[in-house]
A = this chain, B = another copy of it.
Amino acid sequence: MSELELITGGITAPRGFLASGVSCGIKQEPRRDLALIYSKKAASVAGVFTTNRVQAAPVILSRERVKGGTCRAIIVNSGNANACTGKRGLEDARAMTARVAEGLRLNKSDVLIASTGVIGTYLPMDCIQRGIDKAISNLSDRGGSRAAEAILTTDTCTKEIAIKGKLPSGSDYTIGGMAKGSGMIHPNMATMLAFITTDLAILPPLLNKALKQAVEKSFNRISVDGDQSTNDSVFLIANGLSGNKPIVNCGKDYESFLKDLKEVCNYLARKIVLDGEGATKFVTVKVEGAYSEQDAVKVGREVANSNLVKTALFGSDPNWGRIVAAVGYSGIDIAPDLIEVTINGRTLYSRGQPWISDDINLLSGREVVIEINLNQGEGSATFWTTDLSHDYIKINADYHT
A residues apposed to B, CB below 8 Å? 51-55, 81, 83-87, 118-122, 184, 187-190, 225-230, 306-308, 311-312, 314-322, 324-330, 332-334, 336-337, 339, 349, 351-354, 388-390, 392-394, 396-400
Q: How far apart are A117's CB and chain B's nearest CB, in angstroms?
A: 10
**SS class of chain A's interface: helix, strand, loop or mixed?**
loop
Cα A188 to Cα B308 in complex, Å, equals: 8
Closest to A329 in B: B228
Whether B352 contacts A307 by the Cβ 8 Å rule is no
Q: A227-B307, A325-B228, A393-B314 are in contact. Are A188 and B319 (CB under 8 A)?
A: yes
Q: Which residues of B contact A329 (CB under 8 A)?
A: 51-53, 227-228
Q: Which residues of B contact A306 (CB under 8 A)?
A: 226-227
Cα A321 to Cα B389 in complex, Å, equals: 23
Q: Which residues of B contact A353 (CB under 8 A)?
A: 86
Q: How far apart are A211's CB and chain B's nearest CB, in angstroms?
A: 21
Closest to A354 in B: B120
Instruction: Give the residue among A229, A306, A312, A390 with the most B Cβ atoms within 10 A.
Output: A312
Q: Which residues of B contact A389 (CB under 8 A)?
A: 393, 397
Cα A189 to Cα B309 in complex, Å, equals: 10
Q: How far apart are A20's CB and chain B's nearest CB, in angstroms?
A: 29
Closest to A351 in B: B86
Chosen A-B contacts, 22 in total, with CB atoms closer than 8 Å, are A51-B329, A53-B330, A53-B332, A54-B325, A54-B327, A81-B321, A85-B352, A86-B337, A86-B352, A86-B353, A121-B354, A187-B312, A189-B308, A190-B308, A226-B307, A227-B308, A227-B325, A312-B397, A314-B397, A315-B399, A315-B400, A316-B399
Cα A86 to Cα B333 in complex, Å, equals: 19
Whether A311 contacts B352 by the Cβ 8 Å rule is no
Whether A317 contacts B399 by the Cβ 8 Å rule is yes
Q: Which residues of B contact A228 (CB under 8 A)?
A: 325, 328-329
Whether A396 contacts B321 by the Cβ 8 Å rule is no
Q: How far apart are A121's CB and chain B's nearest CB, in angstroms?
A: 7
Whether A84 contacts B120 by the Cβ 8 Å rule is no
Whether A398 contacts B321 by the Cβ 8 Å rule is no
Cα A332 to Cα B226 in complex, Å, equals: 17
Closest to A230 in B: B325
Whether A396 contacts B226 by the Cβ 8 Å rule is no
Cα A307 to Cα B54 in complex, Å, equals: 18
Cα A126 to Cα B306 in complex, Å, equals: 35
Partner of A392, one of B87, B225, B311, B326: B311
Whether B328 contacts A120 by the Cβ 8 Å rule is no
Partner of A388, one of B55, B336, B393: B393
Q: How far apart are A297's CB and chain B's nearest CB, in angstroms?
A: 15
Partner of A321, one of B83, B318, B322: B83
Cα A339 to Cα B54 in complex, Å, equals: 10
Whether A352 contacts B396 by the Cβ 8 Å rule is no
Partner of A311, one of B226, B325, B393: B393
Closest to A321 in B: B119
Partner of A227, one of B190, B316, B322: B322
